[in-house]
Amino acid sequence: MDIQSIGIVGAGQMGNGIAHVMALAGYDVMVTDISQDALDRGMNVINGNLARQVSRDKIAQDDMDAAIARIKTTTTLTDLGQSDLIIEAATERETIKQAIFEDLLPSLKPDTILTSNTSSISITRLASRTDRPEKFMGFHFMNPVPVMQLVELIRGIATDEETFKACQAVVAKLGKTSASAEDFPAFIVNRILMPMINEAVYTLYEGVGSVQSIDSSMKLGANHPMGPLELADFIGLDTCLAIMNVLHDGLADTKYRPCPLLTKYVEAGWLGRKSKRGFYDYRGDTPVPTR
């Protein structure tokens, strides 16, 4: 299947990044969200990130202008129906994702491929709620999308080879690398990454180290570019907690039990960078540890 048009559900952190790289690679892109304000914010981010690439001589000004011209926005979900490939990048809640796919179904072309950018939810289960489980798969970008080189491709139990190859070709056209993952909770990256972050939160919770000492130890002792608590704030503590709950529920192993301190931060609304407070306080000029 020759994919030329991409529909993206969600203009947030992941959605606008996906739109950015797709348009830059030459695809016609349509992005939808629940409000015009959300779409405007997403387009502002795309403009800013493309301008930064121009200033660093990563792309030419003509490339930026052409990419922006390829992106259209709409608040009407069903406008995406004529796209060759749809990537759902909404909130990491299964009920929301299921509702989006159910609302899309009546407007889809027969050969439209449906995908989800979910970082942990069962692709097989999401696919089973659609009319095309063979044309459904996981298309998991890493954050921030324009920078990170990996895309996890996750086949559900019914996904056919043609769908997988078509998505694999899109990843190659983006200049990124695809990794094929089986449809088990959290796939590859988050199956390994999130328990490490959760263990860092336990290390803080048990008083083994402070926020600063834990992050410094992993940056300098394990050569990680970001400390695990700094990274958790960047990802969003609510997302980290949601993935840990998927791992805990899906694998029934106590080693995936979310740390109570992570739950407490989320309950407080301290979600990391996006809420200005998490393991660090971002309301000043310099992030300050909150513990």
Query: Which of the listed residues 153, 181, 209 is the one where a domain comes to its end?
Result: 181
Query: Which of the listed residues 119, 154, 181 is the one where a domain comes to its end?
Result: 181
159 lies in the same domain as 36:
yes
Paired with 280 in beta bridges are 289
Percent with pLDDT over 90 in the chain: 97
Active site residue 140: yes
Active site residue 152: yes
Catalytic residue among 16, 83, 117, 190: 190
Per-residue exposure over 95-118, b if at least 16 CB sit within 10 Å of its own CB, e if not = eebbebbeebeeebeeebbbbbbb
25 lies in the same domain as 115:
yes
198 lies in the same domain as 151:
no
Rg (C-alpha) for the chain, rounded Å, is 19
The number of distinct structural domains making up the chain is 2
Residues 6+ apart with CB under 8 A from 269: 275
Tell me the per-residue pLDDT of 158-205, one tens digit each, with 9 for 90 and over. Answer: 999 999 999 999 999 999 999 999 999 999 999 999 999 999 999 999
- Model pLDDT, residue 91: 87
Catalytic residue among 16, 49, 92, 140: 140
- The chain-wide mean pLDDT, for the chain, equals 97
222 lies in the same domain as 255:
yes
23 lies in the same domain as 165:
yes
Q: What is the CATH number for 205?
A: 1.10.1040.10
Tell me the per-residue pLDDT of 136-165, one tens digit each, with 9 for 90 and over. Answer: 999 999 999 999 999 999 999 999 999 999
Q: What is the CATH number for 51?
A: 3.40.50.720
231 lies in the same domain as 99:
no
Active site residue 119: yes
Tell me the per-residue pLDDT of 70-123, one tens digit each, with 9 for 90 and over. Answer: 999 999 999 999 999 999 999 888 999 999 999 999 999 999 999 999 988 999
Active site residue 190: yes
User: Per-residue DSSP letters for the chain?
Assistant: ----EEEEE--SHHHHHHHHHHHHTT-EEEEE-SSHHHHHHHHHHHHHHHHHHHHTTSS-HHHHHHHHHHEEEES-GGGGGG-SEEEE---S-HHHHHHHHHHHGGG--TTPEEEE--SSS-HHHHHHTSS-GGGEEEEEE-SSTTT--EEEEEE-TT--HHHHHHHHHHHHHTT-EEEEE-SSTTTTHHHHHHHHHHHHHHHHHTTSS-HHHHHHHHHHHS--SS-HHHHHHHH-HHHHHHHHHHHHHHH--GGGPPPHHHHHHHHTT--BGGGTBSSEE-SSSS-EE--
234 lies in the same domain as 205:
yes
Catalytic residue among 122, 152, 178, 230: 152
Enclosing domain of residue 260? 190-289
pTM of the entire predicted model: 0.90
Catalytic residue among 119, 122, 178, 198: 119
220 lies in the same domain as 106:
no
